Amino acid sequence: MNKRGTGTILCLIAGLLYATKYVTAAIFMSGVSTWDESLFQSGLLCVGNGLSTFSVISLIIGIAYLVWAEIDEFRSGKNERRKK
């Protein structure tokens, strides 16, 4: 797999992890008869910050891979122009 594919997949994983935090909190609070913002915030506290942390790490690494691929593409294109 090339760098662009890896970066794209890591960004997708970051989005899935971010969404999973909220879906998990909603499932955790599904037995409640009434919904409230503060009650949902309590559900988010029960889920914790692990998913958010891994989401941010995955997003940063994914963006780094995408930038790295673009830099490599720019450098290889520049070298090909010099050969002509």
| Inter-residue contact 33 to 67 (CB < 8 Å) | no
Separation of alpha carbons 56 and 82, rounded Å: 39
The total number of structural domains that make up the chain: 1
Q: Is the pTM of this model over 0.85?
A: no
Separation of alpha carbons 78 and 74, rounded Å: 6
Q: Which pLDDT value is given to residue 32?
A: 79
Domain interval for residue 72:
3-83
Confidence band of 81 (pLDDT split at 50, 70, 90): low
| Inter-residue contact 28 to 43 (CB < 8 Å) | yes
Q: Which pLDDT value is given to residue 22?
A: 92
Q: Which pLDDT value is given to residue 38?
A: 86
Q: What is the pLDDT of residues 3-51, one digit of tens each?
A: 999 999 999 999 999 999 999 988 888 887 787 888 888 888 988 899 9
Report residue 30 as tokens: 């599904």
